[in-house]
């Protein structure tokens, strides 16, 4: 009788383990693989290419850059009012603008977090079109609105003219494609 109970318990444990494994595969592994296969998940080299494209346009790689017109900060020219909420979301704690400027490693972590978030939304909204998704991410970074990527209206900040959103997003796309 005890032998039969041990076999039943062993069978039950195997079923539970197999069930957990199947649930893990179905719930996490397969959807992740499908997202990569469909171009919907951002792989690290694409994230790096997108970050370098935006940074090349925004600060030329200067972690201490401060835009004289907008006050945008650092490597990715993050608006000062975004530093606290973006750092909280990416790091779990808030940074001040001065702390943000002093920490290149944290600037990269925050940029990666936001760009990945923007990418996921853009690739879904673009139906998987990576070129449109890159332009949507660039538009959101530049204007706050992903859907304005084709806007030809010149942009102004404190009286200074900046490129249109369309010009900006096409420039980012070109840089991205060169990586």
pLDDT at site 16:
60
Whole-number pLDDT of residue 12 = 60
Grade residue 4 by pLDDT with cuts at 50, 70 and 90.
Answer: low
pLDDT at residue 30, as a whole number: 47
What is the three-class DSSP state of 117? helix
Long-range contacts of 66-75 (CB under 8 A, 24+ apart): 66/101, 69/157, 69/158, 69/159, 69/160, 70/157, 70/158, 73/97, 73/100, 73/101, 74/100, 74/101, 74/107, 75/104, 75/107, 75/108, 75/111
pLDDT at 2 over 90: no
- Domains of the chain, residue spans: 1-37, 42-178
Return the minimum-mean-pLDDT range out of 7-11, 81-85, 89-93, 150-154.
7-11
pLDDT in tens, 109-168: 999 999 999 999 999 999 999 999 999 999 999 999 999 999 999 999 999 999 999 999
Average pLDDT of the segment spanning 6-34: 57
CA distance 145 to 165: 10
Taking the CB of residue 41, how many other CB atoms lie within 10 A of it? Answer: 17
Kindly give the interhelix angle for 104-125 and 80-91, rounded to the nearest 10 degrees: 90
Which pLDDT does position 94 carry in this prediction? 98
For the chain, the distance separating the N- and C-terminal CA atoms, rounded to the nearest angstrom, is 68
Task: Give the orientation angle of helix 165-178 with respect to helix 130-143, to 10 degrees.
Answer: 130
Fold topology of 42-178: Lysozyme (1.10.530)
Q: Is the pTM above the cut of 0.85?
A: no
Distance of CA 28 to CAs 25, 35, 85, 110, 166, Å? 6, 11, 28, 25, 37
SS3 93: coil
- Which of the pair, 18 or 85, is modelled with greater confidence? 85
In which band, very low, low, confident or very high, does the pLDDT at 34 lie, cut at 50, 70 and 90?
Answer: very low
């Amino acid at each position: 009788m005890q032998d039969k109970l041990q076999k039943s318990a062993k069978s039950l444990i195997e079923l539970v383990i197999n069930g957990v494994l199947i649930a893990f595969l179905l719930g996490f592994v397969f959807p992740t693989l499908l997202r990569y296969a469909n171009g919907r998940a951002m792989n690290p080299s694409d994230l790096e290419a997108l970050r370098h494209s935006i940074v090349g346009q925004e600060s030329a790689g200067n972690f201490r850059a401060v835009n004289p017109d907008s006050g945008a900060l650092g490597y990715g020219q993050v608006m000062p009012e975004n530093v606290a909420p973006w750092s909280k979301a990416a790091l779990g704690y808030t940074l001040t603008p001065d702390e943000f400027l002093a920490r290149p490693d944290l600037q990269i972590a925050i940029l990666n977090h936001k760009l990945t978030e923007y990418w996921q939304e853009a690739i879904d909204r673009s139906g998987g079109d990576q070129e449109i998704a890159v332009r949507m991410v660039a538009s959101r970074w530049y204007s706050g609105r992903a859907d304005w990527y084709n806007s030809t209206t010149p942009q102004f900040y404190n009286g200074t003219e900046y490129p249109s959103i369309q010009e900006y997003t096409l420039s980012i796309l070109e840089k991205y494609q060169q990586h």
